Amino acid sequence: MTSDGFDPFAYAHAHRREIVWMSQNTNHLVPPEPATNAIRQALDEHRYEGYPMAAGLPELKSLVLADLGLPTDSGCLVSAGGTEALYMLARALLGPGDEVIASDPSYLIIHKFIELSGARPVPIEIYAPPYRLTADRVQAAIGPKTKMVLLIDPLNPLGSGYPAEEVRAIAEIAKDHHLWLLNDITYRDFSDTHTLAYPYHPEQTLTVWSVSKNCGLAGLRIGGLAGRPEVTKTVGKYNTNDLGVNILAQVAALADLKSKATWFDAVRTTTRANQATIRAAVEATPGTFLPVYPSQANMFAIDISATGIAPERLQETLLRDDGVFVRAGNYLSPKFGGRFVRASFSNPPSDVARFAAAFPKAVDRLRATAVTPRAA
Ligand SMILES: Cc1ncc(COP(=O)(O)O)c(C=O)c1O
């Protein structure tokens, strides 16, 4: 909700057929057949009449572990999106007085869950090159109360990815200090190369996975957590979804993961072309820039601070006047959120073309009424 009472999500959902949805890193490029055929078959068989296997379909869990290259005897929790697993693990592993090394910007819902468990996120400011955590800065931030390190790789909202040696160094620091390492890999498939933290600190690494973005199944709400069986068992004690995750979501996830190798390259090719389209539009708009290019995920933060335009105002005009839904940065960073909007691009090129045509004009419309540009 903006200060004048405009609710962008209420507006966007009410106009969902007319707008292009570039605000939530959702993926609109996955061929629908595998998931819809699997759902149709489950509907025909009335599978919704019974409860699913509480622990999740065994074949789905095996596929997730195989997809990640984790040991076949790992634990794998299936939850209502990665979000539910994030909530569970915060509750299970953190308590009052504990601190979690995190970043700003970050995916702040995780910080909220940390706070709900009584612990405190300790964000390292990363809105400057290399726009991600470094092992040195993580090491320097560790104190007597540190219990966990949050490594989101690739990072929402900046799109930064972690080089293999940095993942290894951060994981080894966590290991040396007996810290939990929360490795959120929601955007892994979009990156050129990706390194899991697990092999470097298997005892305490929590790998949070999701099929919302890679498989384009955000609306079905399914994801989970992989790790050593004793770790997933400890976290699973806090599972409120005791009777299992929606069966339609599970069969769709299974079908998409099974077929992913046949279509994901095309998703990657389109997202890379879309990145170039957005970059050209940003470069043609004075006062704006992309902190991270290329993005290793499916989103960019677009810095607009030198225009003096508030991100919420740009979000509103793009949505109402151009039918393009991007997200103001304030929900992703307490300190830097006033400097950027976030735009995701796992969309058909026609959506991204609409953004590219609208963005420079929207900035120009608002520039006339903008306040003094903020210092960078
Ligand atoms: C870094 C990160 N982790 C987790 C999630 C949640 O994903 P899910 O839809 O699986 O709950 C998101 C969603 O945007 C995210 O950006």
Q: Where are the domains of the chain?
A: 8-31+260-367, 33-259
Our answer on whether the CB atom of 152 is closer than 6 Å to any ligand 1 atom is yes
Give the span between the Cα atoms of 18 and 31, in whole angstroms: 21
CB 26 within 8 A of CB 218: yes
Report the alpha-carbon distance of residue 225 to residue 89 in Å, rounded: 9
CA distance 11 to 316: 10
Sign of CA dihedral 127, 132, 137, 138: positive
pLDDT over threshold 50, residue 81: yes
E strand or H helix at 75, and its extent?
A: strand 75-79
Best mutation site among 83, 215, 221, 225 for ligand 1, i.e. most ligand atoms within 8 A of its Cβ?
83
pLDDT in tens, 165-177: 999 999 999 999 9
Q: Which letter does DSSP use for residue 331 in this model?
A: G
At 8, the pLDDT band (50, 70, 90 cuts) reads very high
The two beta strands, 75-79 and 327-328, are unpaired
Between the two ends of the chain, the Cα-to-Cα distance in Å is 26
For residue 66, the Cα-to-chain-centroid distance in whole angstroms is 21
Number of C-beta neighbours around residue 144 at 10 A:
6
In this prediction, residues 292-313 reach a mean pLDDT of: 97
Alpha carbon of 112 to ligand 1 centroid (Å): 13
375 confidence band (pLDDT: 50, 70, 90): very low
In percent, the amount of the chain with pLDDT more than 70 equals: 97
Pairing between β-strand 324-325 and β-strand 20-21 as defined by DSSP bridges? parallel
Residue 364: both structure tokens together = 């120009």
User: Backbone phi, then psi, for 279, in 5-degree steps?
Assistant: -60, -45
pLDDT at res. 368: 82
What is the predicted pLDDT for the residue at 331? 87
Interval 135-153 mean pLDDT: 98
Report the Cα 200 to chain-centroid distance in Å. 23
Query: Edge to edge, what strands does the sheet with 146-152 contain?
Result: 75-79, 223-227, 205-210, 180-184, 146-152, 99-104, 120-125
| DSSP assignment of 148-210 | EEEEESSPTTT-----HHHHHHHHHHHHHTT-EEEEE-TTGGGSSS---SGGGSTTTEEEEEE
How far from chain centre, in Å, is Cα 234?
24
What was the pLDDT predicted at 134?
98
- Domain 33-259: which topology? Aspartate Aminotransferase; domain 2 (3.40.640)
Query: What pLDDT score was predicted for residue 372?
Result: 56
Please give the backbone phi and psi of residue 29, each rounded to the nearest 5 degrees, phi first: -115, 0
Average pLDDT of the chain to the nearest whole number: 96
Banded model confidence at residue 376, pLDDT cuts 50, 70, 90: very low
Classify residue 374 by its DSSP letter.
Answer: P
Q: Which atom of ligand 1 is nearest to the CA of 218?
A: 9
* 245 has a pLDDT exceeding 70: yes
Is a pLDDT exceeding 70 seen at residue 129?
Answer: yes
Ligand 1 centroid to Cα of residue 198, in Å, is 19
For the stretch 179-213, what's the b/e string if a residue is b when 16 or more beta carbons lie within 10 angstroms of its beta carbon?
bbbbbbbbbbbbbeebbbbbebbbebbbbbbbbbb
* Ligand 1 pocket member 212 (CB < 6 A): yes
Fold agreement between 8-31+260-367 and 33-259: no
Cα of 80 to ligand 1 centre, how many Å? 11
- CB of 156 shorter than 6 A to ligand 1: yes
Nearest to 373 by CA among 279, 286, 306: 306
- CB within 8 Å of 84: residues ≥ 6 apart: 223, 240, 241
Report pTM. 0.96
The fold of the 8-31+260-367 domain, in CATH, is Aspartate Aminotransferase, domain 1 (3.90.1150)
- Ligand 1 proximity of 218 Cβ (cutoff 6 Å): yes
Q: Can you tell me the mean pLDDT for 291-311?
A: 98
pLDDT tens digit sequence for 10-68: 999 999 999 999 999 999 999 999 999 999 999 999 999 999 999 999 999 999 999 99
Cβ atoms < 10 Å from Cβ of 367 = 16
